[in-house]
Amino acid sequence: MHDVTQLKETPYETIARLIDPLIKKFDDDGNIPSYIFGDVLTKNAKVRPLDPDAEDPNIQGMDAVLKTYRQFAPTVQQSGPTSLGPLIDEAIKSCERSPEFHILIAITDGDITEPDQDKIKIQKASGYPLSIVVVGVGDGPFDILEQFDSKLSGRKFDNFNFFNYSEYKHKIDFMDTGSQNTAEEMVALQMLQEIPDQYQDIKTLQLLK
Rounded mean pLDDT of the chain?
90
For CA atoms 82, 109, 27, 152, the dihedral sign is negative
Q: Is 141 helix (H, G, I), strand (E, B) or coil?
A: coil
Closest to 184 (Cα-Cα) out of 60, 16, 42: 16
Amino acid at 113: T
Fold (topology level) of 11-204: Rossmann fold (3.40.50)
Element (H, E) at 31: strand 31-33
Pairing of strands 48-49, 35-36: antiparallel
The predicted-structure confidence for 61-84, as pLDDT tens digits, reads as follows: 999 999 999 999 888 888 888 999
Determine what percent of the chain is predicted with pLDDT higher than 70: 91
Instruction: Give the integer Cα–Cα distance in Å for 69 and 92.
Output: 24
The predicted-structure confidence for 89-105, as pLDDT tens digits, reads as follows: 999 999 999 999 999 99
pTM for the full model?
0.91
Domain positions in the chain:
11-204
